[in-house]
Amino acid sequence: KIDGTLGGFIRSAVRGVMWILTVIIVADALGIPTTSLVALVSVVGLALSLSVQNIMSNLFSGITLLIAKPFVAGDFVDIAGKTGAIKSMGLFYTMMDTVDNTVINIPNGDVTAASIINYSKEELRRVDMKFCASYDDATEDVKAAILEAAAEDPRIMDEPAPFIALNQYKDSCIEYVVRLWCKNSDYWDVYFGMNER
């Protein structure tokens, strides 16, 4: 399925090439020297290829993405610092819906050149969090409170088990790192729910 504009462009390009070949063949048949004409066509072709270099780069990048499939429509991804759900993939642009309901069209050349983080690829996802507690609070009490908060959410998996460790001594508090596992679709509910509890 080719977009109507793209189809018209391809037809016009093919028609132009056919006319150029026809003129060269007729000129050669009439005995007109075609060497300078071929050289002129070559220079024009080179200038044209340089002018559409980015377009061709996006086109071949789009074909690469369609073959490699690093993501599909609906996947939640991070591409070159832009985060959102893939809406569609075209030959020239990849369309993304962001969490604040804006649409970003990213040239496919930029997509293939960037690192792609696909958050939707795996069924399970780890929730990484950090909490701070006073130096006056016993470490074991803080860990027990965090475990209790995690146990209240049935979406948090028992296996792999929640991980809690003392991470850093800061100026006014002790920082704890918490790692929880849940289904990919439950990630944000688990994250915000854990913050509230």
- Read off the pLDDT of residues 98-153 as tens digits, 9 standing for 90 and up: 988 899 999 988 898 888 999 888 899 999 999 999 999 999 999 999 999 999 99
- What's the pLDDT at 166? 94
- What's the pLDDT at 57? 80
Alpha helices (H) in the chain, listed in sequence order? 4-29, 35-51, 53-68, 108-113, 139-151, 187-196
Low-confidence ranges of the chain (pLDDT < 50): none
CA distances from 5 to 2, 29, 51, 54, 195 (A): 8, 36, 19, 18, 50
Q: Computed over its alpha carbons, how large is the radius of gyration of the chain?
A: 29
What pairs with residue 133 in β-bridges?
174
- What's the pLDDT at 19? 87
- What's the pLDDT at 121? 86
